[in-house]
């Protein structure tokens, strides 16, 4: 038995029991095979949903969540209100939960799992020692063996450890590791050692949130709320004189799910109308389910906003390109067509035509084309095929240009040809020695179509059989 609920516990079924034993104690017991992966995924989703209370949320083992609510209680009125909100929402989602709040993660862990009530609070101004005194040793997050050892010494309560001399305690353990673990966990619980939290998601640099008394069920409501959110966020950004390059809209549903819309911009922005426009077309993709009761809009990757003076008229502009307008257009296209849809060509310093150019996502600046590089590259075709296509060629052996070739089932007669342009393989990159030198030819067929074909290898170059022909590009 991996987990049991309360009625089952009342019948004497415990975790760790064999299924047959459990069946004998409670013959009518309903059981399902455990799916640890699905559990883990569900817990992670719940952890993301919990970012509605605090941006710092992390998973804790297989069945717990850890939230750093420092400074967050204020948003809900008080710590008590925050706790009751968490409790109510969890219950509404059909989850039973035990809550514990403490000044240190260790204390909160012990209080939530072994606390006397359903909700156990140790406020910051109360002594931690007092709160943890009566809790069992198991609340210290120790391994089973260590716990067993402590119990043998007669130490069952955390409070009993307070007065034992540290070195005396260590001497009782055979292994140094176990002794260290006890000391470490105790110090962590008491706040003598810091325990950092690795959040599920990086906390945003700027965030705006709006909760709703009545859950939103349609896109129009979300759009209206988003207007307010972007304005709040942009005011915050403006106060610090910066813009951001990534925006994430999270919609928290009342049934414990959250959907996320994220977009990135080519340059940093803080124009609320622009951000709103980027989100507007995609709002429909949010599934409101039974209603959305909280929306947050977060800004990531903040950066100094590059402001540019507007020219009085286009004639006076030194550069004909309005970079801001261009970046705004790229953002809109990216929002509509998906990440990386807008690209700029960028040269690569190589002789291999297949790799000579790459398309990189547009980031507000044009590619860096070196004139010298262009000049030495010679005559290059207007259209490159994605990958070279094999063609059947009739050509003079060993290195004559094609006379006739069949490409895509059409036979073409070559009228004129120019070449070869020999491009040797880049031995310093190719890890397989089978790469062969290519002889490129510019050829023209009887109708005037111009192609770029190559012979992959030379005759008797000792790298495989007879070379094959490929078509690589189309000239204009």
Partner 1 sequence: MIHSSRLTHWVLGTNIEHMIDKRGLTRLAQPVAGLRDDAATSAFPLDLAKAGVHEIVEGHYGDTGAATGFALAALRDSRAGVWLWIYERSLSVDQGRVTGLGAAGFGLDPARFLFVEASSPMEALIATEEGIRSGAVSTVITELRDIDFTATRRLILASEVGGTPSLLLLPHTREGATAAHARWRVSPAPSAPNPFDPRAPGFPRWTAKLERCRSAQNQAGHRFNLEFDDEALCLRLVSQLADRPTASDPASPADILPFRQTG
Q: Is 151 in the site for partner 1 (CB under 8 A)?
A: no
Residues 6 or more apart in contact with residue 261 via CB below 8 angstroms: 248, 249, 250, 251, 279, 282, 283, 285, 286
Q: Is 420 in the site for partner 1 (CB under 8 A)?
A: yes
Residue 439 CA to residue 437 CA, distance in Å, equals 7
Three-class secondary structure of residue 363 per DSSP: coil
Three-class secondary structure of residue 156 per DSSP: coil
Q: State which of residues 124, 345, 398, 464 lies at the interface with partner 1 (CB under 8 A).
A: 345
Q: Is 332 in the site for partner 1 (CB under 8 A)?
A: yes
Q: State which of residues 325, 396, 460, 462 lies at the interface with partner 1 (CB under 8 A).
A: 325
Residue 140 CA to residue 421 CA, distance in Å, equals 74
Cis peptide preceding 149, ω within 30 of 0? no
Distance from the Cα of residue 326 to its chain's centroid: 27
* Stretch of 22-30, 89-97, 144-152, 438-446 lying at the interface with partner 1 (CB under 8 A): 438-446
Q: Is 343 in the site for partner 1 (CB under 8 A)?
A: yes
Q: State which of residues 419, 425, 457, 467 lies at the interface with partner 1 (CB under 8 A).
A: 419
**How buried is residue 469: exposed, middle or buried, by Cβ count under 10 Å (0-12/13-18/19+)?**
buried
Q: State which of residues 337, 390, 406, 413 lies at the interface with partner 1 (CB under 8 A).
A: 337
Q: Is 329 in the site for partner 1 (CB under 8 A)?
A: yes
Residue 384 CA to residue 220 CA, distance in Å, equals 46
Is 200 or 344 the residue whose CB approaches partner 1 more closely? 344
Locus of tokens 């640099």: 205
Residues 6 or more apart in contact with residue 356 via CB below 8 angstroms: 347, 348, 350, 377, 380
Q: State which of residues 151, 449, 464, 466 lies at the interface with partner 1 (CB under 8 A).
A: 449
Q: Is 283 in the site for partner 1 (CB under 8 A)?
A: no
Q: Is 368 in the site for partner 1 (CB under 8 A)?
A: yes
Q: State which of residues 283, 367, 403, 463 lies at the interface with partner 1 (CB under 8 A).
A: 367
* Stretch of 33-41, 168-176, 189-197, 437-445 lying at the interface with partner 1 (CB under 8 A): 437-445
Cα end-to-end span (Å), the chain: 72
Asked if 113 and 141 count as a contact pair (C-beta separation under 8 A), the reply is no
Q: Is 379 in the site for partner 1 (CB under 8 A)?
A: yes
Is 28 or 368 the residue whose CB approaches partner 1 more closely? 368
Q: Is 475 in the site for partner 1 (CB under 8 A)?
A: yes
Q: Is 273 in the site for partner 1 (CB under 8 A)?
A: no
Is 88 or 418 the residue whose CB approaches partner 1 more closely? 418
Interhelix angle 272-280/219-239, rounded to 10 degrees, is 150
Is 33 or 338 the residue whose CB approaches partner 1 more closely? 338
Q: Is 447 in the site for partner 1 (CB under 8 A)?
A: yes
CB atoms within 10 A of CB 458: 17
DSSP category for residue 136: B
Q: State which of residues 363, 381, 435, 458 lies at the interface with partner 1 (CB under 8 A).
A: 381
Long-range Cβ contacts of 350-354 (<8 Å, 24+ apart): 350/426, 351/423, 351/424, 351/426, 352/423, 352/425, 352/426, 353/380, 353/384, 353/423, 353/440, 353/472, 353/473, 354/384, 354/387, 354/388, 354/472
Q: Is 278 in the site for partner 1 (CB under 8 A)?
A: no
Question: C-alpha dihedral over 418, 420, 426, 432, to 10 degrees?
Answer: 120
Q: State which of residues 25, 129, 311, 422 lies at the interface with partner 1 (CB under 8 A).
A: 422
Q: Is 450 in the site for partner 1 (CB under 8 A)?
A: yes
Is 221 or 420 the residue whose CB approaches partner 1 more closely? 420
Beta-carbon-side half-sphere exposure of residue 437 (alpha carbons within 13 Å): 12
Q: How many residues bind partner 1 (CB under 8 A)?
A: 63
Q: Is 318 in the site for partner 1 (CB under 8 A)?
A: no
Q: Is 421 in the site for partner 1 (CB under 8 A)?
A: yes
Contacts with partner 1 by CB under 8 A lie at: 320-322, 325-326, 328-330, 332-333, 336-338, 341-345, 347, 356-357, 359, 362, 366-369, 374, 377-386, 408, 410, 415-423, 440, 442-444, 446-451, 473-476
């Amino acid at each position: 038995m991996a987990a049991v609920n309360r009625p089952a516990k009342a019948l004497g079924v415990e975790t760790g029991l064999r299924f047959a034993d459990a069946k004998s104690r409670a013959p009518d017991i309903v059981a399902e095979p455990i799916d640890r992966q699905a559990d883990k995924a569900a817990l992670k989703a719940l952890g993301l949903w919990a970012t509605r209370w605090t941006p710092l949320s992390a998973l804790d083992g297989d069945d717990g969540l850890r939230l750093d609510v420092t400074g967050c209680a204020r948003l809900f009125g008080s710590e008590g209100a925050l706790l009751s909100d968490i409790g109510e929402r969890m219950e509404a989602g059909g989850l039973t939960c035990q809550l514990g709040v403490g000044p240190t993660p260790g204390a909160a862990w012990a209080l939530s799992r072994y606390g006397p009530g359903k909700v156990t609070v140790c406020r910051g101004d109360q002594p931690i020692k007092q709160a943890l005194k009566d809790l069992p040793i198991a609340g210290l997050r120790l391994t089973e063996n260590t716990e067993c050892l402590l119990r043998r010494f007669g130490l069952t309560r955390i409070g009993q450890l307070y007065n034992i001399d540290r070195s005396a305690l260590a001497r009782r353990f055979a292994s140094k590791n176990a002794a260290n673990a006890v000391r470490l966990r105790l110090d962590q619980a008491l706040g003598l050692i810091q325990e950092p939290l690795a959040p599920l998601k990086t906390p945003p640099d700027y965030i705006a949130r709006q909760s709703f008394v009545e859950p939103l069920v349609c896109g129009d409501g979300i759009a209206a709320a988003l207007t307010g959110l972007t304005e709040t966020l942009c005011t915050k950004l403006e106060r610090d004189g910066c813009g951001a390059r990534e925006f994430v809209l999270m919609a928290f549903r009342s049934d414990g799910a959250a959907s996320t819309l994220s977009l990135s911009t080519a340059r940093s922005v803080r124009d609320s109308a622009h951000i709103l426009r980027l989100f507007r077309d995609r709002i429909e993709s949010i599934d409101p389910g039974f209603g959305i009761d909280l929306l947050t809009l977060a800004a990531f990757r903040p950066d100094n906003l590059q402001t540019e003076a507007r020219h009085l008229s286009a004639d006076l502009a030194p550069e004909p390109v309005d970079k801001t307008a261009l970046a705004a257009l790229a953002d809109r296209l990216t929002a509509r067509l998906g990440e990386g849809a807008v690209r700029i060509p960028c040269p690569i310093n190589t002789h291999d035509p297949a790799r000579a150019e790459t398309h990189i996502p547009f980031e507000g600046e044009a590619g860096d084309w070196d004139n010298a590089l262009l000049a030495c590259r010679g005559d290059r075709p207007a259209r490159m095929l994605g990958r070279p296509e094999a063609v059947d060629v009739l050509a003079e052996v060993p290195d004559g240009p094609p006379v006739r070739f069949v490409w895509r089932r059409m036979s073409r007669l070559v009228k004129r040809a120019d070449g070869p342009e020999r491009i040797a393989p880049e031995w310093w990159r190719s890890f397989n020695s089978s790469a062969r030198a290519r002889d490129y030819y510019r050829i023209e067929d009887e109708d005037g179509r111009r192609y770029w074909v190559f012979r992959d290898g030379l005759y008797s170059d000792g790298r495989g059989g007879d070379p094959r022909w490929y078509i690589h590009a189309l000239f204009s």
